Amino acid sequence: MASISLRNVIKSYGRGDRTNQVIHGINAEIADGEFVVIVGPSGCGKSTLLRMVAGLEEISGGEIAIGARAVNDLEPAQRDIAMVFQNYALYPHMSVFANMAYGLKIAKVPNDEIIRRVDKAAKILELGHLLERKPRELSGGQRQRVAMGRAIVREPQVFLFDEPLSNLDAKLRAQTRLEIQKLHRELGITSLFVTHDQVEAMTLAERMIVLNGGRMEQFGTPEEVYHTPASTFVASFIGSPPMNLLKAAPGAAADIITGIRPEHLEVGAEGWPVQVDTVELLGAERLVYGRLLGQEPMVVRIDEAAPAPQGGDTIHVTPKPGRLHRFDATTGLRIP
């Protein structure tokens, strides 16, 4: 196992006048055995960053180290990593066993060692009874597990996951997430996991890197990112529905953006007046969409059992103690 160091990592595509820098100097130390999720909107550079760690993209500036070794100039095969992709591309004519064993065979690992490793991975992934099947005889979730098995048998220092769950339906995604967590608990292999899905990021990450336009906005635990977002971008990207970001909250200075999450507002007889536009029932809770002081859009989350307001009503809300966030209106950065 190994740590991963990203030191001022830069990536540009193209040449000369056509150079387009897409990663603008990322610094992050990922500890040995840590599970780190890289999350951000489409096009922010997640895959590019992961592919640079894998060695599938050249690094334009800075350094990437795996353990004590700088890997900038090492081929992917020399980096001791294993990658799991969204498109798991199993060999259709080979059995599950052969699919998992293939990479080891190519690497000329002795047969008895191959059998030992595949059996171990199959046990962890509960694939033992499926080893003779062909990929077409498996469900989508089982195929994804075979793809993970193929990575596990290599016993790498680092796992790299590039949106491996995005082809699965919602239920299977949730289930496979649990399996990946279990896998990480059992094997403890340093992992980098790319997703654009903030729920996936929050549930899987020990720490998460929030990327925006090729820059790292925050690197922290899910709790830190949720409770103390470093910027308005992080505040609005993590959490569903996102944090209310108010340009003119009552009592706030003009150069301050005030943040408050929909779940951190209390409805009562007094407080900030919110004109209700619509109300959505989500099951255990309702989302009230309205406008603070009749102007700024605001979402309030209330319990399903609480009295439900109607469109056209005015309700009064008060931020729960200690739940207000303040950001610089110019830079978007958190004010401590």
Ligand X SMILES: Nc1ncnc2c1ncn2[C@@H]1O[C@H](COP(=O)(O)OP(=O)(O)OP(=O)(O)O)[C@@H](O)[C@H]1O
- Among 1, 10, 22, 329, the residue binding ligand X under the rule CB under 6 A is 22
Beta partners for residue 211, in sequence order: 216
Q: Are 163 and 194 in contact (CB under 8 A)?
A: yes
> Of 85, 98, 81, which Cα lies nearest the Cα of 148?
85
- Of 43-51, 109-117, 122-130, 313-321, the segment contacting ligand X by CB under 6 A is 43-51
42 binds ligand X (CB under 6 A): yes
142 binds ligand X (CB under 6 A): no
- Of 45-53, 81-89, 171-179, 313-321, the segment contacting ligand X by CB under 6 A is 45-53
> Of 12, 9, 74, which Cα lies nearest the Cα of 38?
9
44 binds ligand X (CB under 6 A): yes
Residue 225 vs 302, nearer CB to ligand X: 225
Distance separating alpha carbons of residues 179 and 93, to the nearest angstrom: 26
DSSP character for 220?
Answer: E
56 binds ligand X (CB under 6 A): no
Q: Are 26 and 9 in contact (CB under 8 A)?
A: yes
Q: Please state the closest distance from residue 26 (CB atom) to ligand X, in A.
A: 12
- Of 46-54, 122-130, 219-227, 311-319, the segment contacting ligand X by CB under 6 A is 46-54
- Among 143, 196, 207, 325, the residue binding ligand X under the rule CB under 6 A is 196
Q: Please state the closest distance from residue 194 (CB atom) to ligand X, in A.
A: 7
Distance separating alpha carbons of residues 309 and 287, to the nearest angstrom: 10
Q: Are 74 and 55 in contact (CB under 8 A)?
A: yes
Q: Please state the closest distance from residue 43 (CB atom) to ligand X, in A.
A: 4
Q: Please state the closest distance from residue 52 (CB atom) to ligand X, in A.
A: 9
- Among 2, 6, 45, 220, the residue binding ligand X under the rule CB under 6 A is 45
Q: How many Cβ atoms are within 10 Å of 147's Cβ, its own excluded?
A: 23
- Among 8, 43, 63, 132, the residue binding ligand X under the rule CB under 6 A is 43
User: Is omega for the bond preceding 307 within 30 degrees of 0, making it cis?
Assistant: no
Q: Please state the closest distance from residue 69 (CB atom) to ligand X, in A.
A: 24
Distance separating alpha carbons of residues 92 and 102, to the nearest angstrom: 13
The two structure tokens encoding residue 149: 């098995």
- Of 37-45, 68-76, 104-112, 137-145, the segment contacting ligand X by CB under 6 A is 37-45
Q: Please state the closest distance from residue 201 (CB atom) to ligand X, in A.
A: 12
Alpha carbon separation from 57 to 45, 61, 73, 290 (Å, rounded): 12, 12, 11, 46
Distance separating alpha carbons of residues 284 and 281, to the nearest angstrom: 8
86 binds ligand X (CB under 6 A): no
Q: How many CA atoms lie within 13 A of 165 on its CB side?
A: 22
47 binds ligand X (CB under 6 A): yes
198 binds ligand X (CB under 6 A): no
- In this structure, what is the dihedral angle of CA atoms 11, 16, 20, 26, given to the nearest 10 degrees? 30
Residue 139 vs 166, nearer CB to ligand X: 166
Which residue ranges make up the site for ligand X (CB under 6 A)? 13, 22, 40, 42-48, 196
